[in-house]
Amino acid sequence: MNSKTSMQDIADLLGISKNAVSLALNHKAGVSEELRTRVFEAAHQLKYRTEAKAKKKQSHLLVLFPEYIQDDKTFYYEVFWSIEKKAKENGYTAIISGVSKEMERLLILPDLYHEMALGGVLIIGAFHPDYVSKLKVLGTTLVTVDHCYDSLQLDAVVTANAEEAYKMVTHLVRKGHRQIGFIGAGSMSKNFKERWYGFETAMSDAGLAVDRMSEIPENALDDLATFLEAMNKDTMPSAWFCANDRLAISLIQHLTAKGYRVPDDVSVVGFDDIEAAQLVMPRLTTIQVQREQLGYEAVELLIRRIEKGGGPSKISIYGELIERDSCREIRG
């Protein structure tokens, strides 16, 4: 803590009362979110830290996630579980809190953020950059999980999306496929964009043409049937690489409904290895995302930053190609 800087210095800089500064720095009610943000900005500018933060070990980690993934038992459950387990092993308690679209839009943080002495925050999934930026401005020790933000230099633990997509396309090429389509909404998330890039790079390196029309609109699942209507057996690629398993499973269902046999007529592969990938018929060939490792690495990185500081870094976790029944080899 900078012993030469006081709350009065912050108050003088902002032209507000010392009491307002105290309320803001101690996460108490009575000041607006806008003013609280300005106080923390001034505190960082003046290199001031509260005594509570300097003296008290903050043993709680807040885990924030957007409401759109709160019912996702298929992918994020293992991430949350591993975060809780790893935090406990290191003497911390992970507290999970959802963020509604309205909270995100208005840049409102959960009450827990203000009420508890927090060591740091893990951000799961994709938030609007402005929301994450607010946490950064407040001086929160942050690690983002399964998503990174190009506009913000933050610690991040992510899947090696481009590399694993490259691996899958190379696998298809080795099986004799030359017409390979991509299905995924590139505008939907950074993960999809990275998987598109890996797909495109692998196709280019194999000397194969890329059909950009295989990138379908944002409401991908709804548009699959319409998308396939425009195709016939002459224009249908021999294999589809889908940017996640939900798309792949839906594609298999739509292809089957149209009379195609998977994989005899068309091969389909996915990405993520959700539980349903083993239940669909035929069982899905996919990239297994190391969800448990994502959680472990994120907690370790966050604790390292809390206890030792250091500059931001990005950790990419490689996956594993799981070969099942939805992809066939083309001979000759």
Give 81's pLDDT tier (boundaries 50, 70, 90): very high
Name which of 129, 131, 62, 144 is nearest 97 in CA terms.
Answer: 62
Q: Which residues contact 243 (CB under 8 A, 6 or more apart)?
A: 165, 182, 183, 184, 185, 191, 192, 195, 196, 271
% of residues, the chain, pLDDT over 90: 63
What is the structure's pLDDT at 214? Answer: 59
Classify residue 190: in a domain, yes or no. yes
Q: Given this model, what pLDDT does residue 71 score?
A: 67
In this predicted model, what pLDDT tens digit does every residue of 1-35 receive, in sequence order? 445 778 899 999 999 999 998 888 877 778 888 88
Q: What is the mean pLDDT of residues 126-147?
A: 93
Instruction: State the DSSP code for 175.
Output: T
Q: Which of the pair, 37 or 178, is modelled with greater confidence?
A: 178
Cβ proximity of 170 and 202 under 8 Å: yes
Half-sphere exposure of 142 (CA within 13 A, CB side): 23
**Residue 17 is part of which domain span?**
1-56
State the CATH number of the domain containing residue 10. Answer: 1.10.260.40
In a domain, 247, yes or no: yes
Read off the CATH number of the domain in which 204 is found. Answer: 3.40.50.2300
The reply to whether 114 falls in a domain is no
Residue 45 is encoded by which pair of tokens?
């500018």
Cβ-contact 218, 247 below 8 angstroms: no
Q: Is residue 2 part of a domain?
A: yes
| Residue 150 falls inside a structural domain | no
Q: Is the pLDDT score of 93 beyond 60?
A: yes
Task: Flag whether 227 is in a domain.
Answer: yes
Residue 49 pLDDT > 80: no
- Asked whether residue 13 is domain-assigned, the answer is yes
Q: Tell me how far apart the terminal alpha carbons of the chain are, to the nearest angstrom.
A: 71
Q: What is the pLDDT of residues 208-234, one digit of tens each?
A: 988 755 556 555 566 777 778 878 788
Least confident of 49-53, 203-207, 302-306: 49-53
Residue 166 located in a structural domain: yes
User: Cβ distance 74 to 275 under 8 Å?
Assistant: yes
* pLDDT at site 113: 87
Domain count, the chain: 2
- Helix-helix angle 18-25:7-14, to 10 degrees: 110
Residue type, 307: E
Cis peptide before 237, with omega less than 30 degrees from 0? no
